[in-house]
């Protein structure tokens, strides 16, 4: 036999007041209906919860065990509607964010602070992924939004530009390109061995490097390919070759690593977009998109 929230509230009031009259006054009802509520609750549970004495109402062992559970159920009943409304408004719930290693140094930190300040009840799950894996995770419903590069808008995915930065050169300390007395040009750089990006795992940066040198009519010798910027930096630090990286990568320091500007290339070549499914059902994502929308 089920019991009701009114019966739970009646039992808790009597248990806390130790008196049916005071409990009835607290609930703003008369004593007879309160007594019936407690009796119905006892029948539903098939146990005796309270014992009347000449001076007070006492809890039975079953009543003592049930009281904290009754309070917990009442608290859930009070807070559940608030949680549901907050989730519907996008001020509660969860967000699963995919990000590239370099976007963690630029956009992601701002996003995390924005969410902490404006959406403190939203739980974050953060996963580092290359762009290709982010797209797959978005299509599979495994993440809600990604910070990625080179993803075109489509009927399925929407995109928004969230960050741009320039390309700089990573090189070993003391390398010849650092002794020119000026920023090296693509032609200067192309005379040396290069570490570049894998055409599948890091397609966007792979094509960007090719375009930089193609625009200067330079054909470097690529000696290694990697899938991540931090892997490229490790190889440059080891003396394998030079590498082009987004400017934010200069925040990553290694013992034998230096960075320099590149002469003769356009600024803001590297773009980061946030990507999400056009058809989604996460109000918290809508809230994040509103909060991070660029000023018009």
Mean pLDDT of the 79-100 span: 74
**pLDDT, tens only, 195-216:** 999 999 899 999 999 999 998 8
CB crowding 202-218: b at 16 or more within 10 Å, else e: bbbbbebbbebbeebee
pLDDT reported for residue 156: 94
Tell me the C-alpha distance between 102 and 79, whole Å. Answer: 40
SS3 132: helix
pTM above the 0.85 mark? no
Q: Give me the architecture of the 90-164+271-291 domain, per CATH.
A: 3-Layer(aba) Sandwich (3.40)
In which band, very low, low, confident or very high, does the pLDDT at 58 lie, cut at 50, 70 and 90?
Answer: confident
Query: Which of 49, 45, 34 shows the shortest CA–CA distance to 3?
Result: 45
pLDDT at 89: 59
Domain at 167-266, CATH homologous superfamily? Periplasmic binding protein-like II (3.40.190.10)
- pLDDT greater than 70 at residue 92: no
State the average pLDDT for the chain. 90
pLDDT at position 85, please? 66
Q: Does residue 90 register a pLDDT over 60?
A: no
Q: How confident is the model at residue 173 (pLDDT cuts 50, 70, 90)?
A: very high
pLDDT grade for 137, boundaries at 50, 70 and 90: very high
Q: Determine the average pLDDT of the residues in 18-39.
A: 87
Residue 243's pLDDT band, with cuts at 50, 70 and 90, is: very high
% of the chain with per-residue pLDDT over 70: 94
Supply angle C-alpha 126, 128, 130, rounded to 5: 140
Domain residue spans of the chain: 5-88, 90-164+271-291, 167-266
80 confidence band (pLDDT: 50, 70, 90): low
Q: What is the pLDDT of residue 1?
A: 62
The 270-277 sheet, strands edge to edge: 121-128, 92-99, 145-148, 270-277, 157-165
**Hey, what CATH class is 5-88 in?**
mainly alpha
Q: 3-class DSSP state for residue 211?
A: helix
- Does 5-88 match 90-164+271-291 in CATH topology? no
Query: 109-122, pLDDT tens digit by residue?
Result: 999 999 999 999 89
pLDDT at 86: 58
């Amino acid at each position: 036999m089920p019991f009701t929230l009114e019966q739970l509230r009646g039992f808790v009031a009597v248990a806390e007041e130790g008196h049916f009259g005071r409990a009835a006054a607290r609930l703003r009802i008369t004593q007879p209906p309160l007594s019936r509520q407690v009796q119905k609750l006892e029948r539903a549970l098939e146990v005796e919860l309270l014992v009347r004495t000449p001076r007070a109402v006492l809890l039975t062992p079953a009543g003592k065990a049930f009281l904290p559970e009754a309070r917990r159920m009442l608290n859930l009943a009070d807070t559940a509607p608030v949680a549901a409304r907050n989730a519907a408004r996008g001020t509660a719930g969860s967000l699963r964010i995919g990000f590239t290693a370099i976007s963690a140094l630029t956009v992601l930190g701002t996003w995390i602070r924005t969410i902490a300040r404006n959406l403190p009840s939203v739980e974050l799950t953060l996963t580092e992924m290359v762009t290709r894996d982010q797209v797959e995770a978005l299509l599979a419903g495994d993440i809600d939004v990604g910070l990625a590069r080179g993803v075109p808008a489509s009927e399925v995915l929407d995109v928004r530009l969230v960050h741009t930065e320039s390309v700089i050169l990573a090189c070993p300390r003391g390398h010849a390109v650092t002794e020119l007395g000026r920023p090296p040009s693509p032609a200067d750089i192309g005379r040396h061995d290069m570490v570049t990006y894998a055409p599948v795992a890091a397609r966007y940066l792979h094509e960007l490097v090719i375009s930089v040198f193609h625009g200067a009519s330079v054909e470097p010798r690529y000696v290694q390919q990697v899938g991540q910027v931090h892997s490229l930096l490790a190889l440059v630090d080891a003396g394998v070759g030079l590498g082009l990286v987004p400017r934010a990568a200069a925040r990553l320091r290694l013992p034998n690593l230096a960075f320099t500007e590149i002469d003769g290339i356009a600024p803001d070549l590297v773009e980061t977009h946030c990507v999400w499914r056009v058809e989604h059902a996460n109000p918290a994502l809508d809230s994040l998109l509103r909060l991070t929308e660029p000023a018009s």
